[in-house]
Chains A and B, each alone.
Chain A
């Protein structure tokens, strides 16, 4: 073997050892006394450094957690499992965070919604359709059926059903809210999974027009609001639910002529 190679290896090796030694000494001398709890918490966290908690990485979240500024269930990726373990470490009770899922507030699929006489030719994206005279359906508030919500979901938790409306696979959903952001008509809203009563419509047209555009629209008759004792408020011919005042027992679901206000269980309509 050439001497040069041996000398080169020896030199680099020697330099490496010297610097490593220097760093080891420096580490001892410059060690910062840190709350060991922070390191313990950091161990449990997913360490994806996604920033979903609102802090700059998992370590920053751990620091703020130990300092009491962050909530125990603040990690959306870790979810309840991480929240529980962190709570045990910190010695506090964790409020079990209820999973939030998207709710599709429109029942105007291919069967229910009246289509326009003109056909739409263009990119099959809701955003594009919304720009071109409000899409294929007569209802200017309803689901366009272009599937932007399905396409944006990185967890494959959404799909378009045969009726041309999106559906959520709740087991796969992480509650990130991207689908809600993608919808140009704001039809998708994120709600806790245990919420059951919804007005599955966003149509603000007067009763005559509502009936013309869709079989499943909220026509704005106001029967639900009158009986609900503040739980439902009519805003421009559409029922808006105030969940803090809502009493599902008071809502006359059977009186709704189109079935716009309904109770849902496990993502299947009543």
Chain B
């Protein structure tokens, strides 16, 4: 039951993008096409789940017992960078078209603060190993949700008559703000 609460909390109530405002860079950068938004979301979820596992192990099995908790931020960054490289190699091997579609955005997941946020949050909230994995899954799902909704809206906007002054970045940011506002409606649900 607790796991379901964590999942729903991470994906909807405390959506990483729309409530915690993490990972805005790929949110704005990759959400112009629905297909690339979903692919990016899936790649990020994959990285998030593995990051959750590895950072949990790193923190609770290495840093905490040896009183090195002050090293958590550089250690997590190291883990995330290595993992993203690994994911890049895997994707390149498994699906060349996906690799080319994601292009530069794959290594950019390294700088995605949502991943670091994930690691730091699970440490702060003192989750168990399984809870961390579910947390990773939930935040990844929320990320995919936010990106795909945004992509859908943006694709629709391209066919609409947006005033010249608002075309491009301005209307995107306004839509993002309204979306964040909408997701506030979930507050207090859990």
Contacts and interface: CB of A to CB of B under 8 A. Distances in A.
A11 interface: yes
A23 to B, nearest CB: 6
Contact of B86 (A26, A56, A57): A26
Contact of B89 (A8, A12, A16, A27): A27
B103 interface: yes
Interface in A14-50: 15-16, 19-20, 22-23, 26-27, 30-32
A7 B78 contact: no
Contacts of B58: 15
B82 A12 contact: no
Contacts of B78: 12, 15-16, 19
A23 B86 contact: yes
A60 interface: yes
Given A7-B68, A19-B82, A30 B74 contact: no
Interface residues of A, number: 19
Contacts of B125: none
A23 B103 CA distance: 20
A32 B86 contact: no
B82 A23 contact: yes
A27 B74 CA distance: 24
A8 B71 CA distance: 7
Nearest to A8: B71
B89 A30 contact: yes
Where chain A touches its partner, the secondary structure class is: helix
Interface in B44-98: 58, 62, 66, 68, 70-71, 74-75, 78-79, 82, 85-86, 89-90, 92-93, 96
A77 to B, nearest CB: 19
B92 A22 contact: no
Given A12-B78, A22-B82, A57 B68 contact: no
Contacts of B85: 23
A26 B78 CA distance: 16
Contact of A30 (B62, B92, B96): B92
Contacts of A31: 93
Contacts of B79: 15, 19
A60 B82 contact: no
Interface string B94-122: 00100010011000000000000000000
A7 B66 contact: yes
A56 B104 CA distance: 10
A26 B68 contact: no
A12 B75 contact: yes
A54 to B, nearest CB: 15
B54 to A, nearest CB: 10
Contacts of A20: 82
Contacts of A26: 86, 89
Contacts of B92: 30, 32
A44 to B, nearest CB: 20
A30 B100 contact: no
Interface of A: 7-8, 11-12, 15-16, 19-20, 22-23, 26-27, 30-32, 56-57, 60, 63
Given A15-B58, A19-B79, A56-B103, 4 more contacts: A12-B75, A26-B86, A26-B89, A30-B93
28 contacts: A7-B66, A7-B68, A8-B68, A8-B70, A8-B71, A11-B62, A11-B66, A11-B71, A12-B71, A12-B75, A15-B58, A15-B75, A15-B78, A15-B79, A16-B78, A20-B82, A22-B82, A23-B85, A23-B86, A26-B89, A27-B89, A30-B92, A30-B93, A31-B93, A32-B92, A57-B103, A60-B103, A63-B100
Interface of B: 58, 62, 66, 68, 70-71, 74-75, 78-79, 82, 85-86, 89-90, 92-93, 96, 100, 103-104
